[in-house]
Amino acid sequence: MSDRVRRLANWNRDRLERLATEHETPLYVLDTDRVRANYERFAAAFPDAHVMYAAKAHTGQAVLSTLLDAGADIECAAWGELRRAIDAGADPNSLQYTAVNPPDRDLDRAVELAAEYPGLTVTGGARDTFDRLEARGYSGRVAIRINPGIGTGHHEKVATGKDAKFGIPETDVETVADDVRERFDLVGIHAHIGSGVLTDDVAEHARAVGKVADIARAVGDDELEFVDIGGGYGVPYREDEPPLDMETVADRIRDAVGTLDARLALEPGRYVVADAELILTEVNTVKEAPQSTVVGVDASLATLIRPAMFDSYHPIRNVTAPERDPRPVAVGGPCCTSADVFCTDRPIAEPRREDVLAIGNAGAYGYELANQFHSQPRPAEVAIAGDEARVVRQRESVEDVISVER
């Protein structure tokens, strides 16, 4: 297995079959050794930078505790993520809170937390956010999220660097910085360019990063602790896509940033967890239709919504019988919508009823976006490390789904 990417075929199929039998399907399977290896590879490429894990990619306690043990700090985009990071063992003084349009209750809790742990950094992406912080009596550490006007990534919905929702427009940053310095302890500049950056995107990504560094210098990087360029570094979801060479990417980023008095900070998320998890699902229906063969499985868009939301490609493999001749099939779940399809016209080793299929690269925004459409209970999650396997998230029951109703 290449250390730069874990392909679906690299997973041990006998072990996956055993896990499916023991824990039933659909089932998320997380390899925490791979999580650690991915983080350590990324951190080694940026030895002088401050590397934080972007918790929104996967907030599972097994992931967070593994990364904290590996030496990572955590960047959180919501109060719930702050709470989960602390529960996993993070020092609140080390956390960075980068919320977008934070609700009042989230700001209240963040300000209360910072009163006890003044090392917490709060990032604001709107003038209103700083006004709301001041109204709550906050005067501590802040960073300004900026919008460089350039976005990159795998889909327009994640090209945050050019989306007006995210950050202070570049033309206003210096004025906002002057105002913020009078009211708070301005310690950083923050930007996130986009998500799912691969080799073909690196040049544009580096151009955007260079622009962020220029804005930081205009603001006064000699008075800042850090310039945070976010994450967005991707993994190849398609089998023919090459993985990023992080050493080369790091060189491009350093060249683009140039000389800074402030420390460079980065927030990998997808890169750390995407190829460290997959979904196991059982075939329940094989239907011959005029246009295609439809393979029904027990996973659905409630299990993994990325194909429906982003038209995302996820590799699929027949775990039970990979040696069978491949045939083009559509794979879909039990939800009553045409969006509940994982692939169409995809060659897969002939699926038969009760076969177990694996859906790869499910670690980033997989379980995070799982839902209860059709009152479907969310699946169990099993973490493997070496020869050990343990349930880190119990399978919900229908009773769990309806227990909050009154």
27-36, 141-150, 335-344: segment of lowest average pLDDT: 141-150
Q: Which of 390, 329, 324 is nearest to 19 (CA)?
A: 390
Map out the domains of the chain with their CATH numbers.
32-272 (3.20.20.10), 275-402 (2.40.37.10)
Distances (CA, A) of 352 to 20, 42, 298, 321, 330: 16, 40, 13, 9, 13
pTM: 0.94
Question: Which of these is catalytic: 76, 335, 336, 343?
Answer: 336
pLDDT at 161: 42
The 3-class secondary structure across 95-163, one letter per residue, is CEEECCCCCHHHHHHHHHHHHHCCCCEEEECCHHHHHHHHHCCCCCEEEEEEECCCCEECCHHHCHHHC
Helical H segments across 46-103, by residue range: 61-70, 79-87
pLDDT at 195: 77
Average pLDDT score, the chain: 94
**Residues 114-153 pLDDT 10s:** 999 999 999 999 999 999 999 999 999 999 999 987 655 4
**Residues 295-307 pLDDT 10s:** 999 999 999 999 9
Structure tokens at 72: 């990572």
**Residue 336 annotated in active site:** yes
**Residues 221-234 pLDDT 10s:** 999 999 999 999 99
Question: Residues 287-291: what's their mean pLDDT?
Answer: 89
**Residues 205-220 pLDDT 10s:** 899 999 999 999 999 9
**Residues 37-90 pLDDT 10s:** 999 999 999 999 999 999 999 999 999 999 999 999 999 999 999 999 999 999
pLDDT at 154: 42
